[in-house]
Structure 1
């Protein structure tokens, strides 16, 4: 429910009407395809609009959440109160020599296509990750022995007060699934990647190889948020879950994938509660069997649905 009419009215002076959506179902905006409505969902088209929205939310003490492609996210069935700022219209990709300057909302797969067409190598690992550059930078996403920390040179971010900062790779503190962005709740506006030259054929062969491996091993035919859990030190998450006898286990419409136990999937009619209950079941069983604590890699936000 939207209670702050003053905030909504001021938003209409910042954004075009078509870029403001009320009570928007989050299941339409995250790859898990679950989640209740966001009170207000906005689509800024410039950095200045982002700054104005953040400052407006601060003015009215209204919660706001930044949304990229929604690929590492689970929104609860009660939805999200406040303002969701979706970056899908900030998706420009520009090449400058060996550098690619990418706006936060651009998808990794599109960035990889641009790198390929310009014979730039280093980001092939990300060609199948279904996220945005902003989200991938925030969590230092990675796959197949590569990660964003390998290719990021710097990032333009916004702090909670609406001030722009240009952070070097060192200042970003990129570690396994963490960063200074997460720690300080910065908002990524733009990322500069530093790549190297290589023959286009070699880059394409590498991307094709990784795409084939992903298709063979991951349940891409179902909605999910990618790997559900972080990898505990010294263990492989999928093997722990499989060895605990949980492969194929279901709660409602949620299932531990029979193809890859590290994935919880939406079989088509799951609720967020189904997924959360299955996450808890997996955590409890793995802890009981192996004394290993599995922590969610997927970010869980929003409110439970009232009965």
Structure 2
């Protein structure tokens, strides 16, 4: 890949050089504050731009990676080759009756606050989820007994050929931490959430309760990628890790949280390699003690080690 040619081509596609960058450190875009360089990073501001970028990379045979707000992802220290699309500029939220329509780059927390403002219930579970709408659609995000599938009516996505798709609830095939969007490699652009009117003080009371729980139980004082592992059938990942005596275990600058064993926190300039090594150590220890395989909920992407000449 001729990186500078791709950079120049994408500047023409989005017609704004300030939204195309090369050799940009992805640590600036992830919650863990880790990650190497992207060959070329582009921040589209319309669905049509996303479609054009997808079609361009497909036609040129250029690898493409989609990055939302970086809350549930670990980018390896070697960075990402090809083109990285960052969707955070697509962040509009608006109301249509009892439906909220939110673009994929909007924070799901902001959608829950928007619902509160308009006296609509159903999004309270999302008031503490740090991810984006796109991430919530991609993995059917959930917390405290609620999940995206409970309220998502339909979505807009782009497939690998650049075609715009309208996906209804049944099309999305939402399961535990997965969806048709993730299984088919689509790019989520928009979600429409069907909600119900409720008195604002009641909605706020529930959101306040969940926020208190989150502050008590989660290590919000350090950078992290959120919940690292999926819940294994019949178990809770955090409990298994705790029962292995792994809380406080540290590799490099990354530590298994002492507050919640399901989280790993960047306590001292940790790297993506530190995260990955600690994840592997936890998986190996839990397997040895309980014969349970922990599957990562966090998505690990990019290349290991230092960026090579290219």
Give the alignment's TM-score, normalised by structure 2.
0.97
The secondary structure found in structure 1 opposite 2:89 is coil
Question: Which aligned pairs between 1:39-50 and structure 2 lie closer than 5 A?
Answer: 39-50=39-50
Corresponding position: 1:6 with 2:19? no
How far residue 9 of structure 1 moved from its aligned partner, in angstroms, is 2.1
Question: Which aligned pairs between 1:156-305 and structure 2 lie closer than 5 A?
Answer: 156-305=156-305
Backbone CA RMSD of aligned residues: 1.0
How far residue 46 of structure 1 moved from its aligned partner, in angstroms, is 0.8
Q: Is the 8 A contact 2:108 2:133 kept in 1?
A: yes
Question: Which aligned pairs between 1:67-82 and structure 2 lie closer than 5 A?
Answer: 67-82=67-82
List runs of 5+ in structure 2 lacking aligned partners.
none
The secondary structure found in structure 1 opposite 2:45 is coil
Q: Is the 8 A contact 2:7 2:22 kept in 1?
A: no
What whole-Å deviation, never above 9, does each CA across 1:118-177 have from its counterpart, x for those lacking one? 000001000110110011110000000000000000001110000011011111000000
Number of equivalent positions: 306
Q: After TM superposition, which residue ranges in structure 1, 4 or more long, deviate above 3 angstroms?
A: none
List runs of 5+ in structure 1 lacking aligned partners.
none
The secondary structure found in structure 1 opposite 2:116 is helix
Q: Is the 8 A contact 2:7 2:20 kept in 1?
A: no
How far residue 268 of structure 1 moved from its aligned partner, in angstroms, is 2.9
How far residue 42 of structure 1 moved from its aligned partner, in angstroms, is 0.7
Question: Which residue of the partner structure matches residue 19 of structure 1?
Answer: 19
Q: Is the 8 A contact 2:31 2:70 kept in 1?
A: yes
Q: Is the 8 A contact 2:286 2:293 kept in 1?
A: yes
- Alignment partners' CA distance in 2, 1:306 and 1:122: 45
Question: Which residue of the partner structure matches residue 149 of structure 2?
Answer: 149
- Alignment partners' CA distance in 1, 2:121 and 2:301: 35
Question: Which residue of the partner structure matches residue 116 of structure 2?
Answer: 116
- Alignment partners' CA distance in 2, 1:7 and 1:275: 31
- Alignment partners' CA distance in 2, 1:83 and 1:167: 26
